[in-house]
Each structure stands twice: as structure tokens, then as C-alpha cells.
């Protein structure tokens, strides 16, 4: 009854659609700004609200799985995400969009790590490498399709801000009946805070900092950077703005697939150098107001993100492979990633209270350039 292939495909599709739903609002932020629904500062608060819901739920996700089982957990995640989507679509106010994003964070927090665990458990040939690749592909390609999907749906429904949320909610709900036919996995995990043994602290900190930087860049392309070119809305180039947000994750996912046979050293060094170049070009795109240069930055950042994030994760996994604390270290690593998504975006929002958004992004690109150089120097001793 519980086919592993069917279960694997169901979990893969659900993770993809959950990540798509999470990034659905990214291409709509410029419209919210132009309609005075949200200010630049409020956009970063809304974007970061996702982390406020995600991180606490991530701590208890394994414990919840043990209590209610995989089927109930995933169904609960779908319901919470749909509530968040509908609240964002119907409210069209800062409070409703904020609460909707928090609910989306809770949904991903309880489901993402458990879906990753399920893909490993359900992989028909017990190919853990294939399962890990499927997880990364679902998160990046699924997430990358979010902004372009919402833009395409909105255009085809008379610029509706509600239609994207409703249609993706329907897709998520249509997946829920299939959960009945997957194995109801459980584990014996008890609630505990992540613990990092002293022998792994140094490599954990440098890998977490590198991942933090990689996802900080991604977060900016999904939040404020498209808003800086919102004048394109007046030229009916809504899809162009959506591409700016989508391409970074789409190229990251594709790059991870094609670079998986590279050495860890090549992944990290080449990836960070490309992200460094992207950060420098981002500064010039804001100074010159060139959309096509911004598009190139998004593509380069996506390639750099795919290379470096894959390499960093492989480096950390290799170092902690035999550790009894591997699960806790990975949980802490994921928290660092999500903090990279939320914290810099929020700080950028604070900057927009004092400077024009373009100036704030120039500050950000300068900071990222210096940080990538520093991180590259520090991490070199751990890669061979």
C-alpha cells in the first residue's frame, strides 16, 4: 500500500510547492510598494517575519513528528501555509501580510527538515546522495518558481493580488489527499536545544557564517532588490522584476545538479569568487540603474550560491559524519541559514529609513564583498 516511489514523489512535490508558496510574494513586493500597502521598511519586516515563525518551529519539528506522525504533520503544514497565503491575499495590509508570513514560517519550520528526512527514508534504492540532491533541488527550483509564478498568474488575472495566493493554495490542498497513501513515519526524538561539541565548533562556525552570507544575498534578491527597480512597473515589465527574484534560486538549483561531481575545494572557492563578483556588479547596477546588469548579478549570484552552498554543506557533513551530535549540528546549521535569510534583510530595512533604497543596497553589496573575502580566507585551511 505504501509504495516508496509514490511516497518519495509525493514528498518531493509537496516540498517543492511549499517552497514555491513561501516565495510567492517576492515579485509582488514592488506592487505593494507602489500601491502604498507596504513601505520598503515594512517589506523587510514582512520578509523577516517568516523567520520569526520558522526558527522556533524548527526546534520542535522532530518532536512534533514523534508525537503525531508524518501524515498529520504534513497535513497540518499544508493547512497552516494555506491560511497564511489566504491571509496575505485577502488582507492587503501590513498586519495581515505580516501574520501570513509568520504562518508560512511555522509551516516550513515543522515540515522542511521532516520532508528532507522522509526523502532519505523513501528513496527506493536507499541512495542518500540522490535523496539529498532531490531535497536541494526542490527547495531551490521550487522556491525560484515562486516569484515568476505569482507574476504570471497576476498578469493573467487582471493584475490581481489575490489570484496567485488562491491558485497556489488550491494546488497545495490538492496534494493533501495523497498524504494518506504515504508511510506514517515517526521517530524517537525528544525536544532538546542543539549542542555543538568543542571539536567541531571551529568548522561549524566558519561553515555557518559562509552559509549565512550565501543566503543573505539570496534573501535580498527575494525582497528589496526588485523593489529598487519598481519603476519597471510603469513600463509594464512586471515579469522582468519577477525574473530578478527567481533566477538566483533557479540557477542555484541547476548549478548544484551539474557541479555535484566537483571537488569541495572547487565548489567553495569558485562559488565564493563568483558571489564576490556578483556583489561588486550589484553596486554598479544600482549606481547606473541598469536592469540588465542587475539580471546578470542575479544569474551570477545563483551560480555562486549553488557552488558555494553545496561545497560548504559537503564540507560540514564530511567533518561531522561520525559524530553522535550530527543531527543537532545540522539543525544549528539550518538555523544559521534561516537567520541569513531574515536578519540582513531586516537590517537593510532599517537603512531604508535613513537612505534611499538604492544607497542601502550599495552599502549591502560593499559589506558582502568584504565578508566573502574574509570568509574565503578563513575557510581555506579546512578544504583540501
Q: What is the pLDDT of residues 290-320, one digit of tens each?
A: 888 999 999 999 999 999 988 888 888 778 7
The predicted pLDDT at position 27 comes to 86
pLDDT band at 334 (very low <50, low <70, confident <90, very high): confident
CB-CB neighbours of 94 under 10 Å: 16
How confident is the model over 346-368, as pLDDT tens digits? 888 888 888 888 898 999 999 99
Q: What is the pTM of this model?
A: 0.86
The CA distance from 66 to 56, in Å, is 17
The CA distance from 206 to 70, in Å, is 33
Burial category of 174 from C-beta neighbours within 10 Å (exposed 0-12, middle 13-18, buried 19 and up): exposed
Which of 138, 147, 136 shows the shortest CA–CA distance to 225? 147
How confident is the model over 183-236, as pLDDT tens digits? 887 766 666 677 788 888 888 899 899 999 999 999 888 888 888 887 766 656
* Residue 283 scores a pLDDT above 80: yes
Cell of 269: 572557492
pLDDT band at 2 (very low <50, low <70, confident <90, very high): low
Query: Taking residues 143-168, what's their average pLDDT?
Result: 90
How confident is the model over 73-120, as pLDDT tens digits? 999 999 999 999 999 998 778 999 999 999 999 999 998 888 887 887
Cell of 148: 515568476
Q: Which residue has the cell 553545496?
A: 310
The predicted pLDDT at position 185 comes to 77
The CA distance from 353 to 191, in Å, is 40
Amino acid at each position: 500500500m505504501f509504495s516508496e516511489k509514490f511516497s518519495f514523489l509525493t514528498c518531493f512535490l509537496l516540498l517543492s510547492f511549499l517552497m514555491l508558496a513561501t516565495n510567492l510574494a517576492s515579485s509582488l513586493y514592488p506592487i505593494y510598494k507602489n500601491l502604498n500597502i507596504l513601505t520598503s521598511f515594512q517589506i523587510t519586516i514582512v520578509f523577516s517575519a517568516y523567520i520569526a515563525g520558522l526558527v522556533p518551529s524548527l526546534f520542535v519539528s522532530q518532536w512534533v513528528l514523534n508525537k503525531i506522525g508524518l501524515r498529520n504533520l504534513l497535513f497540518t503544514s499544508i493547512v497552516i501555509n494555506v491560511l497564511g497565503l489566504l491571509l496575505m491575499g485577502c488582507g492587503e495590509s501590513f498586519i495581515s501580510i505580516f501574520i501570513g508570513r509568520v504562518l508560512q514560517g511555522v509551516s516550513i519550520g515543522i515540515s522542511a527538515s521532516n520532508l528532507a528526512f522522509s526523502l532519505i527514508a523513501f528513496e527506493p534504492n536507499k541512495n542518500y546522495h540522490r535523496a539529498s540532491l532531490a531535497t536541494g533541488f526542490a527547495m531551490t527550483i521550487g522556491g525560484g518558481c515562486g516569484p515568476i509564478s505569482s507574476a504570471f498568474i497576476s498578469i493573467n488575472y487582471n493584475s490581481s493580488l489575490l489570484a496567485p495566493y488562491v491558485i497556489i493554495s488550491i494546488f497545495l490542498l490538492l496534494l493533501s489527499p495523497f498524504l494518506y497513501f504515504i508511510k506514517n513515519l515517526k521517530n524517537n526524538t525528544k525536544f532538546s536545544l542543539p549542542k555543538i561539541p568543542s571539536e567541531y565548533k571551529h568548522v561549524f562556525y566558519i561553515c555557518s557564517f559562509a552559509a549565512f552570507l550565501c543566503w543573505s544575498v539570496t534573501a535580498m534578491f527575494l525582497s528589496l532588490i526588485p523593489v529598487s527597480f519598481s519603476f519597471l512597473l510603469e513600463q509594464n515589465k512586471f515579469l522582468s522584476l519577477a525574473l530578478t527574484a527567481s533566477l538566483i534560486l533557479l540557477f542555484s538549483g541547476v548549478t548544484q545538479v551539474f557541479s555535484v561531481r566537483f571537488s569541495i575545494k572547487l565548489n567553495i572557492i569558485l562559488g565564493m569568487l563568483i558571489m564576490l563578483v556578483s556583489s561588486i556588479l550589484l553596486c554598479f547596477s544600482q549606481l547606473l540603474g541598469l536592469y540588465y546588469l542587475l539580471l546578470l548579478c542575479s544569474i551570477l549570484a545563483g551560480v555562486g550560491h549553488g557552488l558555494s552552498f553545496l561545497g560548504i554543506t559537503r564540507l560540514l557533513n564530511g567533518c561531522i559524519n561520525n559524530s553522535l551530535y550530527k543531527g543537532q549540528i545540522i539543525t544549528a546549521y539550518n538555523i544559521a541559514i534561516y537567520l541569513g535569510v531574515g536578519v540582513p534583510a531586516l537590517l537593510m530595512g532599517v537603512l531604508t529609513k535613513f537612505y534611499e533604497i538604492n544607497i542601502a543596497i550599495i552599502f549591502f553589496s560593499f559589506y558582502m564583498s568584504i565578508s566573502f573575502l574574509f570568509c574565503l580566507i578563513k575557510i581555506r585551511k579546512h578544504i583540501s
